[in-house]
Amino acid sequence: MQQIISITTRKREELIDITELVKKLVRESGVREGLVQVYAQGATAAIMIQENWDESVQADVIHLLQKLIPRGVWQHDQQDGNGDAHLKSGLVGPSESIPIIDGEPGLSTWQNIFFCEFDGPRQERYIVLTVLGNRN
């Protein structure tokens, strides 16, 4: 089963919790054991599994990446001013694969799935969700 979902981002850099969207698709698929693959389409976006107890971890991720990869100093900035966004998305990566255990994504209590926006805001960002497995 595969579904493409669309989200809107509101900031240049932000992490958006998409865990419930992924859980819903896994439940609808009927797969009991397998994998759900979450893939961000776009060269300036990424997917990350991280804690969601409060927003401090998400803010820390953004601040760390801003310190490691500052804006305005990259060759690509001469083209369209988003060289840092490309580097951040490449470092974090476009996808995550999560095991499906007993019909649910196999996340721990403190793990959530985030769409990482590094070049927003954007009216539409696309995420490809692919569920593979057995419906035993």
- Tens of pLDDT, residue by residue over 44-66, are 999 999 998 888 999 999 999 99
- Domain span at residue 107 reads 2-112+121-134
Residue 19 in tokens: 């865990």
Q: Give pLDDT, residue 54.
A: 87
pTM listed for this prediction:
0.95
CATH of the domain at 33: 2.60.120.460
Inform me whether the pLDDT recorded for 74 exceeds 90. Answer: no
Angle between helices 83-92 and 56-68 (to 10 degrees): 120
How many domains does the chain fold into?
1
51, two tokens: 């804690």
